[in-house]
Every structure is written in structure tokens, then in C-alpha cells.
Amino acid sequence: AKVLVTGANGYIAIWVVRLLLEQGYSVRGTVRSAGKGEYLTEYFGKLGFGDKLEIVVVEDITKEGAFDQAVQGVDAIEHTASPFITSLVNLSDFVDPAVRGTVGVLQSAIKHAPNVKRIVITSSCGAVMAPPPQPTIFSETDWNTSSQMDIDKNGVNADPLSKYRVSKTLAEKAAWEFYEKHKGSIGWELVVINPPFVFGPPIQEITGGPESLNTSLKPFYDILVGDGPKTEKLLSTSNSWVDVRDTALSHILAIQKEAAAGERIIVCGGAYLWQEWFDAANTIQPYPLPNHPPAKGMPGITAPYVIQYNTAKADKLLGIRYKTKAETIRDTLEIFAAKGW
């Protein structure tokens, strides 16, 4: 079977491509320029998958019919391409590619991909919630209405993630609306995956130093390896996370598991305090970055987990054994070490 992966050069997507190839699928990956495909061709060529991977350029995913060619002949689609960088200024810089890209993939599939059975959209826990004032356990029934309110009240750039969260919310809503409207006349089912912060080994092309890491890994590096703050406030700050390999696996299972059809699924490995990542780092023997021995932080510090997720649905439908903090941080630091950081 052949699977289309959009934004194939991204942090999460390259793992999706890798797991698909390892499981025997053929993959067509889209990138925004030919140059961004070269690393993929080389990386997967070295792993022996050269003849199973095809790269196509989709320069502008907001254009009408952008994916009309790319979807032809595929059996499933994993749509991951969407802006997740904090430097974009305007709300539309996020919303246009997120919404038009998502609806565009679905439209192209209806017109040009008669064999498609599943379409998986990478949404986000940013479409589920914005950080709440009180400790809260969220589930798939929750939708983020606070980020738009934050923008209305405090301006578009007050919280750097609000624009991003709004774009993910609108894109996911648009996907479900489109699906509900066309359900009766199409041969495929929609599955939406909602990850919280994704950490774990980066295998994508990294063109510079740690500052050029993707948005979720950059603070992970800064705090745990770099000069990022190690104050009591930071160490007791909490959130939820999932390993990038588990995130990718959920995308594969989403096209394989019958029961996932038509479902919105939160995939989450658990909650963390930053202190717990320091604790995990201090258990690794030998430590992979001898020039940056791990800080101790403030062992024993406690604070409530403010953002947690009920993962019963993913457990039932996908059944992933999530990586632990110790596994994730060890494998991530090994990649940093291989880069000489």
C-alpha cells in the first residue's frame, strides 16, 4: 500500500515516514522545495528504502488544488504539514496554511484519490485546551476556546502560542465539518491525532546548532542541556508530553485499526514537571554529553500537574506502550551528542 505524508521533512513526519517504510509501506512525501527532499532521499536511501520513497514538491499548500497531483494513487494520507514556529507574526500566517492545507488535502482526495481508505490529520492538544488556571484533566470532548479569547482580549502576540493553537483548532474543526458533510459519499474515514508537547530523538535535517531545532525540542534542549533557567518556578512548571516515536506510531495505527475510524484521539505519554526530566537525566549511565553534565535541579520539589489528559480512548483504540521519560531523554541526548553539541 502507498501512503502520502505531507510535510515529510518535519520532526514528527520523518518518524511517520520511517515507521511506514519499516512496516513495508511505500511512501510519497511532500516537501515545500526540492532541497528539503534531498536529506530525506539520502537518509532513507542509507536505511535501504531508496526504492520505496518518492518525494514530491508542493510549494504552497494554501493554493486551490495544491495536492491534486500528490494524492493520486495513494491508499492512505497522513497530513502533518502545518506551521509550528513561534516567529510568525500574523494570525493568518498560521490559520491560512493550517485550515486551507487541511481542507485542501481532503478536497484533493475526494477528486483524485479513489483508493484512499484513511486520512489522518495531525491536530494537537492545542486544539483541545490552552493552559488552564486550575489543574485540569482534559479529554477528546474538550475544545480550545480560550486561545481565541486570549487574542481578542490581550492581542495577537501576548501569548506566542495562541495563534498556533487557534490555527490547530480551526483546522481540526474544518476537517470534521468537511468529513460530516461528505461522509455518505466517500470511501475513506477520518482519524485525528492530538498530541501534547512532543519530545524525543530528532532525526530530521537540522541545518545549524540547537537554536535550529523544531519548536517543541528547542526548550527541551535549552532547559536540560543549555543555559535555560533552572529556577524553582521553571522546575515546578508542568505540562504533558509524548515521545515522537509514539506519536508517529499512533499515525500508523490510525490507518490500520478499524475502530479508529471517525475518531479524535489524544496520544499522551504522561505529565511532567521539568524537575522530573532532570531526575531522569541523572539516571543515565554513562551520560551521553560529558561536557554538559546534567544539572540536579531541586530534587524532591513537588507541584501539581496542571495539564493532564484522559488517555482511555487511545489505550482502547491504539494500545501504545508509551516510552518513559528515561527512554525519551536518553535517546534524545544521544542524538545531541552525535551532533557534538
Query: Secondary structure of the chain in the HEC alphabet?
Result: CEEEEECCCCHHHHHHHHHHHHCCCEEEEEECCHHHHHHHHHHHHHCCCHHHEEEEECCCCCCCCCCCCCCCCCCEEEECCCCCCCCCCCHHHHHHHHHHHHHHHHHHHHHHCCCCCEEEEECCHHHCCCCCCCCEEECCCCCCCHHHHHHHHHCCCCCCCHHHHHHHHHHHHHHHHHHHHHHHHCCCEEEEEECCEEECCCCCCCCCCHHHCCCCHHHHHHHHCCCCCCCHHHHCCEEEEEEHHHHHHHHHHHHHCHHHCCCEEECCCEEEEHHHHHHHHCCCCCCCCCCCCCCCCCCCCCCCCCEEECCHHHHHHCCCCCCCHHHHHHHHHHHHHHCCC
What is the C-alpha separation between 198 and 247, in angstroms, rounded? 8
Q: Which of residues 239-268 bind ligand NDP (CB under 6 A)?
A: none
Q: Which lies closer to ligand NDP via its Cβ, residue 7 or residue 294?
A: 7
CB of residue 4 to ligand NDP, shortest distance in Å:
13
Our finding on whether 108 is near ligand NDP (CB under 6 A) is no
Our finding on whether 277 is near ligand NDP (CB under 6 A) is no
Q: Which lies closer to ligand NDP via its Cβ, residue 55 or residue 109?
A: 55
Q: Which lies closer to ligand NDP via its Cβ, residue 287 or residue 341?
A: 341
Q: Which lies closer to ligand NDP via its Cβ, residue 301 or residue 331?
A: 331
Size of the site for ligand NDP (CB under 6 A): 23
Whether residue 168 lies in the annotated active site: yes
CB of residue 122 to ligand NDP, shortest distance in Å:
4
Phi, psi (deg, nearest 5) at residue 208: -135, -145
Q: Which of residues 128-187 bind ligand NDP (CB under 6 A)?
A: 168
CB of residue 154 to ligand NDP, shortest distance in Å:
22
What is the C-alpha separation between 137 and 144, in angstroms, rounded? 13
List the one residue from 197, 272, 277, 322 that touches ligand NDP (CB under 6 A): 197
Our finding on whether 220 is near ligand NDP (CB under 6 A) is no
What is the C-alpha separation between 91 and 96, in angstroms, rounded? 8
CB of residue 96 to ligand NDP, shortest distance in Å:
8
Q: Which lies closer to ligand NDP via its Cβ, residue 115 or residue 136?
A: 136
Our finding on whether 9 is near ligand NDP (CB under 6 A) is yes
Our finding on whether 124 is near ligand NDP (CB under 6 A) is yes
List the one residue from 4, 12, 109, 318 that touches ligand NDP (CB under 6 A): 12
Q: Which lies closer to ligand NDP via its Cβ, residue 89 or residue 298?
A: 89
Our finding on whether 37 is near ligand NDP (CB under 6 A) is no
Which range in 10-18, 136-144, 219-227, 256-264 contacts ligand NDP by CB under 6 A? 10-18
Our finding on whether 97 is near ligand NDP (CB under 6 A) is yes
Tell me which residues are annotated as active site.
168
What are the residues binding ligand NDP (CB under 6 A)?
7, 9-13, 32, 36, 61, 80-84, 97, 122, 124, 168, 195, 197-198, 214, 216
